[in-house]
Amino acid sequence: KMEEWEIQVEDEARYMMDDSREMDHLRRRCIYRVPAFIADQNHKAYRPQTVSFGPYHHGEVHLKPMEYHKQRSLIHFLRRRQTPLKFIIDSFRQVA
Protein backbone atom coordinates (compact mmCIF):
# COMPACT_ATOMS: atom_id res chain seq x y z
CA LYS A 1 0.00 0.00 0.00
CA MET A 2 2.84 2.42 0.85
CA GLU A 3 4.68 1.72 -2.43
CA GLU A 4 1.51 2.22 -4.49
CA TRP A 5 0.83 5.54 -2.72
CA GLU A 6 4.44 6.66 -3.15
CA ILE A 7 4.45 5.96 -6.91
CA GLN A 8 1.12 7.70 -7.41
CA VAL A 9 2.16 10.79 -5.42
CA GLU A 10 5.47 11.09 -7.28
CA ASP A 11 3.78 10.80 -10.69
CA GLU A 12 1.06 13.30 -9.87
CA ALA A 13 3.48 15.72 -8.20
CA ARG A 14 5.66 15.73 -11.29
CA TYR A 15 2.64 16.45 -13.48
CA MET A 16 1.18 19.15 -11.24
CA MET A 17 4.48 20.95 -10.63
CA ASP A 18 4.63 21.70 -14.36
CA ASP A 19 0.98 22.67 -14.73
CA SER A 20 0.57 26.46 -15.05
CA ARG A 21 -3.22 26.05 -14.78
CA GLU A 22 -2.73 24.95 -11.18
CA MET A 23 -0.97 28.21 -10.33
CA ASP A 24 -3.77 30.20 -12.01
CA HIS A 25 -6.29 28.24 -9.96
CA LEU A 26 -4.40 29.03 -6.75
CA ARG A 27 -4.17 32.77 -7.51
CA ARG A 28 -7.95 33.02 -7.87
CA ARG A 29 -8.68 31.53 -4.44
CA CYS A 30 -9.22 33.46 -1.24
CA ILE A 31 -9.87 32.46 2.33
CA TYR A 32 -12.20 34.72 4.26
CA ARG A 33 -12.64 34.89 7.99
CA VAL A 34 -16.17 34.07 9.12
CA PRO A 35 -17.53 36.91 11.27
CA ALA A 36 -17.82 35.94 14.93
CA PHE A 37 -21.57 36.63 15.07
CA ILE A 38 -22.09 33.98 12.36
CA ALA A 39 -19.60 31.45 13.74
CA ASP A 40 -21.11 31.79 17.23
CA GLN A 41 -24.42 30.43 15.93
CA ASN A 42 -22.87 27.05 15.12
CA HIS A 43 -19.25 26.55 16.24
CA LYS A 44 -19.07 23.04 14.80
CA ALA A 45 -20.01 24.17 11.28
CA TYR A 46 -17.01 26.50 11.08
CA ARG A 47 -14.37 24.30 12.70
CA PRO A 48 -11.79 23.07 10.18
CA GLN A 49 -11.74 19.37 9.41
CA THR A 50 -8.50 17.33 9.44
CA VAL A 51 -7.13 16.09 6.14
CA SER A 52 -4.03 13.95 6.50
CA PHE A 53 -1.24 13.44 4.01
CA GLY A 54 0.19 10.00 3.65
CA PRO A 55 -0.69 6.41 2.97
CA TYR A 56 -2.86 5.57 5.99
CA HIS A 57 -6.25 6.08 4.33
CA HIS A 58 -5.15 6.12 0.70
CA GLY A 59 -7.63 4.49 -1.63
CA GLU A 60 -10.57 4.30 0.79
CA VAL A 61 -13.75 4.82 -1.24
CA HIS A 62 -15.38 7.39 1.04
CA LEU A 63 -12.25 9.58 0.86
CA LYS A 64 -11.88 9.57 -2.94
CA PRO A 65 -13.56 12.97 -3.46
CA MET A 66 -10.80 14.69 -1.43
CA GLU A 67 -7.81 12.90 -3.01
CA TYR A 68 -7.29 15.54 -5.71
CA HIS A 69 -7.40 18.38 -3.17
CA LYS A 70 -5.02 16.55 -0.85
CA GLN A 71 -2.57 16.13 -3.73
CA ARG A 72 -2.88 19.81 -4.65
CA SER A 73 -2.28 20.77 -1.03
CA LEU A 74 0.83 18.61 -0.92
CA ILE A 75 2.20 20.28 -4.07
CA HIS A 76 1.63 23.75 -2.62
CA PHE A 77 3.17 22.70 0.68
CA LEU A 78 6.27 21.39 -1.11
CA ARG A 79 6.58 24.60 -3.12
CA ARG A 80 6.21 26.89 -0.09
CA ARG A 81 8.68 24.90 1.98
CA GLN A 82 10.98 24.19 -0.96
CA THR A 83 11.12 20.65 0.35
CA PRO A 84 11.87 17.69 -1.93
CA LEU A 85 9.08 15.13 -2.17
CA LYS A 86 11.59 12.42 -1.24
CA PHE A 87 12.07 14.06 2.18
CA ILE A 88 8.32 13.93 2.86
CA ILE A 89 8.03 10.30 1.72
CA ASP A 90 11.02 9.31 3.87
CA SER A 91 9.33 11.02 6.84
CA PHE A 92 6.16 8.99 6.25
CA ARG A 93 8.20 5.79 6.12
CA GLN A 94 9.60 6.52 9.59
CA VAL A 95 6.13 6.61 11.12
CA ALA A 96 4.33 4.09 8.89
Average pLDDT over residues 13-21: 67
Average pLDDT over residues 90-95: 76
Residue 76 CA to residue 60 CA, distance in Å, equals 23
Number of domains in the chain: 1
Global pTM? 0.43
Cα 27 → chain centroid: 17
Residue 67 CA to residue 69 CA, distance in Å, equals 5
Encode pLDDT of 39-82 as tens digits.
889 877 765 454 555 666 667 777 777 778 878 888 888 888 78
Encode pLDDT of 22-31 as tens digits.
666 656 655 5
Domain span including residue 14: 2-95
Q: Which residues of 52-78 are buried (b: 16+ CB within 10 A; e: fewer)?
A: eebbeebeeeeeeeeeeebbeebbeeb
pLDDT surpasses 80 at 36 = yes
